[in-house]
Structure 1
Amino acid sequence: MPIRQLDRAAIRREARELIRTARVSPIKFTLLFLAVSLALSLLDTALTSLTGRIVGVAFVSVSFASILIGLITQVLDAGYKCYCLGVHRREEMPYESLFDGFTFAGKVIALYIVEGFFVALWSMLFVIPGIIAVYRYSFAIWNLCQNPELGVMEALNRSKRQTIGYKGQLFGLHLSFIGWYLIVFVIVGVYEGVILALMPDSFLGIMLGSLILTVLTGVVDIYLTPYFALSECGFYLRATAPEELPRQDRSSYTPEF
């Protein structure tokens, strides 16, 4: 398949349009996703806090539960990607589709482990090869969500072929979102500076600054998470679409595996 220069601006523009027009609001869907993820994160934090005070079988059980929570989070992320693929196909994706990843959870977990192992091996050489490996395998989870019948190694091997010539472009797409976070940190920095100036050496000032950071980051995440995911999904669909397919149809193309 010939390598094309993908229009990042068009990809992001389409993602914004989908946020406005999707049958099931990506903002509301993301709220559900973040709420479930936060609940799992809080549970994991609570369990982790116990590990220093327990021993024996209880320690093993808590450690296992913590690992299980991490794996469940990966499966939920796969469900979120299934939702994004459906939105790009202009399908109505109900809120329950967040849990679609559990229908092929074994493969999602296996992919997460195998991909992590490969990336770790490359990272042992140097940081840069590790980053390249992350992008080399970045389409694997999309391949699996697109077709759960695929094997884990097949999803990874397809990703290696599909990302040839596109790793740099995908990195550029990811880099284009950094500005959003910089804006948040600048705003938070200004607020914290004002608060600490008014209430120096104040525990209340520190807590208020942390609260502002949490709230602003959460508000941005509610919009930025679907914006980023739908943009990445659009990039994947365009990169894997046949050259002869009309440009306007590439974002909703479903590869034939």
Structure 2
Amino acid sequence: MNFVHFLHFAVRFPPFRQERSFFMPMQLDTGAIKTESRSLLRTGEVNPFRMTLFYLLITLVLDTINSGVSYMIDSAGGFTVLSFSFVSILVGLVALVLNAGYYCYCFGILRREEMPYESLFDAFPFAGKVILLSIVEGVFIFLWSMLFVIPGIIAAYRYSFAMLNLCENPELGVMEALNLSKRQTNGYKMQLFLLQLSFIGYQIIAVLITLLYQYVIISYLPDSLSGAVLGALIYGVLSAVVAVYLTPYLNLSTCRFYQLATAPQVNEPPHFDSWNDNF
């Protein structure tokens, strides 16, 4: 083969490159995602509103326990502090697993399955992985945040599919879920950010409720164990006003976004994402 023939062959058949079909994201219709999520809010054996109330009730009990324990930690010493700290940490870990269970519930609703109240506890069989993944992910995001705020935010979105991967496939290892998320979110981080940003109205109301509690209500509560417990109850009830609608709406939308972003794509044009993985 002479040089002219070689050039002709090279133009027609360029060298093989690494397969990048996994990295060819499409533009997702976030409006359609939110519309579908709203339509599912009253489906299932236990609809998302009732499941969210059940979830918030458990969370309220955990927060109340945690507030009481935190107050006793401040006023105790020695081994008592260690025992109360253990209880506080345990409460936080249970909350992490329940949050993963809520994702499992949302995926079931999106699959049009009948999801009973017990489905909220579906993540407990792989609770160790949920906890370890949360810790490792938190460390990674913290390390990126030490560079600057923006890299930390991008890292948070880069790993945002990791817990969803684990909920959909509990057989995955922690690092597998994280590495898979890095590839899955390539090209979708900005879209996911904009989807979640579209809920900002509800989130502003939630922030205002927090400020109302922190700067007004808490000043009228007694500085005692009963005051700490009562404060947690009041804050939980006030937060539930927004959370009972926002929690299922946002989580169903996020899970549906995940399903679409990770689904096999056929003949879809690439979509530019300014939050690429060059960071």
Equivalent residue in structure 1 for 2:119, among 84, 92, 97: 97
Equivalent residue in structure 1 for 2:135, among 113, 138, 162: 113
Q: CA RMSD in A?
A: 2.7
Extract unaligned runs of 5+ from structure 1: 197-202, 204-210, 246-257
Cα displacement (A) at 1:184:
6.9
TM-score computed with the length of structure 2 as normaliser? 0.76
Percentage of pairs with the same residue: 58
Contact 2:142/2:152 (CA < 8 Å) preserved in 1? yes
Partner of 2:262: 240
TM-score computed with the length of structure 1 as normaliser? 0.82
Partner of 1:138: 160
Higher helix proportion (structure 1 or 2): 1
Contact 2:166/2:177 (CA < 8 Å) preserved in 1? yes
Distance 2:203 2:134 in 1: 26
Distance 1:146 1:116 in 2: 20
Partner of 1:66: 88
Supply the AA of the counterpart residue of 2:175: M
Cα displacement (A) at 1:57:
1.5
Equivalent residue in structure 1 for 2:101, among 64, 70, 79: 79
Alignment of structure 1 residues 124-203 onto 2, 5 Å: 124-182=146-204
Supply the AA of the counterpart residue of 2:150: I
Distance 2:201 2:156 in 1: 22
Distance 1:11 1:71 in 2: 31
Q: Does 1:42 align with 2:42?
A: no
Supply the AA of the counterpart residue of 1:8: T
Contact 2:158/2:181 (CA < 8 Å) preserved in 1? yes
Distance 1:188 1:126 in 2: 27
Contact 1:188/1:212 (CA < 8 Å) preserved in 2? no
Cα displacement (A) at 1:55:
1.6
Change (3 A) 1:163 1:184: closer
1:114-134 deviation digits (Å, cap 9, x = unpaired) = 000000100111111111111
Distance 2:82 2:128 in 1: 22
Change (3 A) 1:62 1:141: same
Equivalent residue in structure 1 for 2:48, among 19, 23, 26: 26
Change (3 A) 1:114 1:28: same
Extract unaligned runs of 5+ from structure 2: 1-21, 221-232, 268-279
Give the structure with higher Rg (CA): 2
Q: Secondary structure at the match of 2:45?
A: coil
Distance 1:86 1:155 in 2: 20
Partner of 2:17: none
Distance 2:38 2:55 in 1: 19
Cα displacement (A) at 1:21:
2.7
Contact 2:43/2:109 (CA < 8 Å) preserved in 1? no
Contact 1:144/1:155 (CA < 8 Å) preserved in 2? yes
Cα displacement (A) at 1:188:
11
Single out whichever of 37-46 and 216-225 deviates more from structure 2: 216-225
Cα displacement (A) at 1:224:
1.0
Contact 2:129/2:174 (CA < 8 Å) preserved in 1? yes
Distance 2:121 2:165 in 1: 17
Cα displacement (A) at 1:64:
1.3
